[in-house]
Chain A
Amino acid sequence: MSIIKLLDEFSSEKLTTKSSSRREMFSTLGSFGKKAAMAAVPFGLASTKANAMFQDSGNAAVDALQLALTLEYLEAEFYRLALDSGVLPSGRPETVYMQIYKHEDAHVEFLKAGLEGAGATPVSMPNFDFTAGGAFDPFNDNGIGQDTAYAQLLALAQAFEDTGVRAYKGQAGNLMGTAFLEPALQIHSVEARHASEIRRIRGLEGWITGSMRGDGMPEATQPVYDGEENVMQGGVDVTTLDFANPIVGDVTEAVTQAFDEPITAETATAIASLFIVSDDSDSDSDS
């Protein structure tokens, strides 16, 4: 069975609407009640319950690193649980997830050390809910089935990696003039390498065309891609340039592929918040 076929099977409608069929589908699978409503909320619009972690420290660089750390916690925990889930097929998927987990875990440690070195207290790891209130079952904890769970593992990984690329890019300006800019850029490009590989495993191109989230991506992930259609760079509409070599195919598509766009801390936080159930792993959770 092809990946695309698999992905089509968890159609975005089922994941993003409060249709009765979806409720029925999940109601037999376990306790999804509490946060089920969140499943209807697109990635970027979730209530920002993580906001408490992004208090203004008065230091833009520290705030940027705290945001980065939170996103790295999210990714590291996601890949750790994915590797433990038994959902990943052996071979390329498992090899790729192991490598990415190694990097995200290293990023967590690196950022914590960096924050401490700068005299700041790193935020602690929140409690994550990768079902997003019942919309997903990427680890097959609730019996959605290996194939669908695997498709969701890939879709979420793509969304997390493409979000990470945009979020780091959006924070670069806040790190200017500090020793953290270069390592942040070095993490940023690693996330882009990850994104490319995950996208290619899913049968997509490694780069983003327009604001297209790509085949099989749940509609809820669209905020991860909104704005990628931008063609204005440095005040120039790049599509209007007189290219010295002819562009193959559609010029606008090629131009949007050639530039990745940043997102703000607010957008990144809103996306991450969909998967955060508490600000602190020590607090009670219903997991």
Chain B
Amino acid sequence: MKKPLVKVDVLDASPKNSNKNSRRKFIKLGGLGIAGSSFLLYGCSDDDLFNPGGDVGGPDPVDPDPVDPPVDAVFDLGSGDVGILNYAYALEQLEAAFYAAVREGDYYAGASDEEKNIMDDLYNHEVIHRDFFKAAITAAAGEENTLPDLEFDVSSIDFSSRDSVLQTAMALEDTGVGAYNGAGDRIADATYLTLAGKIVSVEARHASAIRSLLNPDSADFAGDDIIDENGLDLAYDPSEVFEIAGGFIVTDFTADNLPEPNTGS
């Protein structure tokens, strides 16, 4: 698998960057942001994870000096639970950016009150998830181990088209559900597992509502396209998630050290 090396905007890594709402020029890249398949399982000092500034555990593949990151540094999501939290944070950044853009588009401007309310709520929830992860990871692992603000290219989405917006929302929400479901057994700390559970069911509620808007009076809210014959929802590995979501992600990062599933076998 190819491992693209694209720089993380140094400004994004700066602790003083308060320019989160600005629309930096999107840089279109062909490659996905992710290449990690050389997973390594590191021991993780779980007890420290809620300890602000505590030891994160596991080797840090990134330059350990947060003050002066090299210009060409590619952020790695990290190992252990911090890696999984950064992984979730990347997805929440994407979802929040998407709904923020939706609310500035023509579909939203002309949408029914019901659909406007749904878009407002989904925007709220994803912004809350995103900023919660930023605070939680920063507290647990330090800013230097927290995924920087990512840039996204959403030029493939027609924000004036209801169908384009809702189809994209469906894809993102379904992917989010599958990502959290597939990541659960890679989490070592029960508190983080429950936190992921608190979020994934909200993503599933979103996915259901969007699917219901797209095809009312149908079984699509939990359709046979996503729920298997055992009644089980999607569960994606990180590589599958980045294959789906990677097209929107401009800022490159790696996921070389995410933990493997722990199924006790």
Contacts and interface: CB of A to CB of B under 8 A. Distances in A.
Contact of A257 (B192, B202, B204): B202
Contacts, number: 222
B195 A234 contact: yes
A162 to B, nearest CB: 10
Contact of A110 (B20, B100, B231): B231
A169 B198 contact: yes
Interface in A202-238: 205-207, 233-236, 238
A243 B128 contact: yes
B21 interface: yes
A133 B91 CA distance: 47
B178 to A, nearest CB: 9
Contact-residue size bin, chain B (C-beta under 8 Å from the other chain): 35 or more
Contact of B233 (A186, A259, A261): A186
Contacts of B222: 99-100, 103, 190, 193-194, 197
A154 interface: no
B190 interface: yes
Contacts of A182: 181-182, 184-185, 235, 261, 263
Contacts of A262: 194, 197-198
B149 to A, nearest CB: 8
A71 B246 CA distance: 38
Contact of B185 (A181, A241, A258): A181
Nearest to B122: A207
A98 B219 contact: yes
A189 B204 contact: yes
A245 B194 contact: no
A178 interface: yes
B162 interface: no
Interface in B128-177: 128-132, 135-136, 139, 177
Contacts of B208: 192-197, 200, 206
Considering residues A192, A197, A241, which has the most beta carbons from chain B within 10 angstroms of its beta carbon? A192
A261 B231 CA distance: 22
Interface stretch (A27-35, A44-52, A247-255): A247-255
Contact of A177 (B132, B191, B235, B264): B264
A173 B198 CA distance: 13
B41 to A, nearest CB: 13
A200 B208 CA distance: 10
Interface stretch (B4-12, B28-36, B69-77, B209-217): B209-217
B221 A196 contact: yes
Contacts of B120: 248-249
A92 B221 CA distance: 11
B135 A206 contact: no
A259 B202 contact: yes
A241 B131 contact: yes
Nearest to A93: B217
B248 interface: no
Contact of A249 (B100, B124, B209, B263): B124
Interface in A86-113: 91-92, 95-96, 98-100, 102-107, 109-110
A262 B191 CA distance: 12
A81 interface: no
Interface of A: 91-92, 95-96, 98-100, 102-107, 109-110, 165, 168-169, 172-173, 176-179, 181-183, 185-197, 200, 205-207, 233-236, 238, 241-245, 247-249, 254-255, 257-262
5 contacts: A103-B227, A176-B185, A206-B205, A245-B100, A262-B197
Given A185-B184, A238-B128, 10 more contacts: A102-B231, A177-B262, A186-B233, A186-B234, A187-B233, A192-B204, A205-B209, A207-B125, A247-B124, A258-B202
